[in-house]
Chain A
Amino acid sequence: MLRAQLRRQAQVGTKGTAEARMQGLVVFSVAGQRLAARTDEIGGVMPWPGATVVPSDTPFVASLVRQEKHCLPVFDLAAKFSRTMHENEPLCLIVKHVDGPLAICIDSQVPSLHMVARSAMHYRVGNDPDIAGTCVAGDEELPIINLTTLGVSSIRPAR
């Protein structure tokens, strides 16, 4: 009995270790720019509900979208990357931001989930605090974007 329990625990431990070596990433695109983000930073995806413009001085935060009875601020990720959205039916990515839920307008292509080996993720400090590094998801090397702290310290467009 004890041996069986130990065997089961060993199996669970091996599985847990394997899972610990993997990172769940969501890959999506904004005005054609492909990006990856950690799954735990994302609250959901819904059709783009249309935005209300807010006269704002905050870089890249100048509109609101409705979600149920509340309104969420919108971070204009396309503008940050100096791109323009041309989508007819974009999607709304809800982000678990440190300051509260945040919406991002993304391309109509539904985001895809990838399990990526942590060894395929390369964190590094660059010019843009919103970019954590790069990763290889599928056949692509993609920038990893820090969604939870998006805009907290970035005041200039990414190069």
Chain B
Amino acid sequence: MGLRGHKTAAASGGQTVRCLVALIGPTHVAFPAHWVRGIITPAEAGSGGRVTWANSSYERTDLAGRLTIGAQMVTAETRIILYGNELRSRSFMVNGVLGLIDVERAQIQPLPSQFRGGERDRLLGLFSGTAYVALIANPFWVLELPPRKNALDAFVFQASERRAGEFDSRLRLSSATHEDAVPTPAGHET
């Protein structure tokens, strides 16, 4: 992602989860980044039921609707996130992309137990930035895969495994994405 939007919130050696933080409506939603395949503009995505990008096909899903966040207006900041693993892939619209952030596992707060509904399937937890609170979407729910216990653990890595500034080769982001990524404002570091 050109690392313009890449922030590190983890102490070296700690367990971290790399997240792509995006805006859906007024809500900051963080997607564990291992399954992010790309970020493209609506024009690049074209129309139709599927998005084809880099020889891969992504079924469109109304993630905002599924999250019950409501309708989104398409603006210059609107992006389509291509998300998938070896089993399934989906594409969905977001109102903007803030960038990648490495979040220390200990900084991730589970969803408080007063939340008792379907949101417990949709969200794995949350973390606080200086200027926002990001809700971590459950990648298994995003891809409409069977639920998995301790889903977040599948996305945890040891910060010491990667050198500072090293790019995650599992993220295949298009070059357009690198330039289009909205850099995180200085005050948004966690």
A: residues with CB less than 8 A from B are 52-58, 61, 64, 66, 69-73, 75, 97, 99-100, 102, 151
Contact = CB atoms under 8 A, between A and B. Distances in A.
Contact of B112 (A53, A55, A66, A99): A99
Given A53-B27, A55-B27, A71-B109, A66 B128 contact: yes
Nearest to A72: B112
A131 B27 CA distance: 33
A139 B68 CA distance: 45
Contacts of B44: none
B132 A100 contact: no
Interface residues of B, number: 23
Contacts of A61: 114-116
B112 A73 contact: yes
B114 A97 contact: yes
Interface of B: 26-28, 67-69, 109, 111-119, 122-123, 126, 128, 132-133, 135
A69 B91 CA distance: 33
B119 A56 contact: yes
Q: Which 9 residue pairs of A and B lie closest in terms of their CB atoms, listed nearest first?
A: A57-B117, A73-B112, A73-B114, A52-B133, A58-B117, A99-B113, A55-B67, A57-B118, A56-B119
Nearest to B64: A55
Given A52-B27, A52-B133, A61-B114, 13 more contacts: A53-B27, A54-B115, A54-B119, A56-B115, A56-B117, A58-B115, A64-B133, A69-B128, A71-B128, A72-B112, A97-B114, A99-B112, A99-B113
Most buried by A among B114, B115, B119: B114
Contacts of A52: 27-28, 132-133, 135
Contact of A66 (B27, B118, B133): B133
Residue of A71, A99, A100 ringed by the most chain B CB atoms within 10 A = A71
Contacts of B133: 52, 64, 66, 71
B27 A100 contact: no
B114 A99 contact: yes
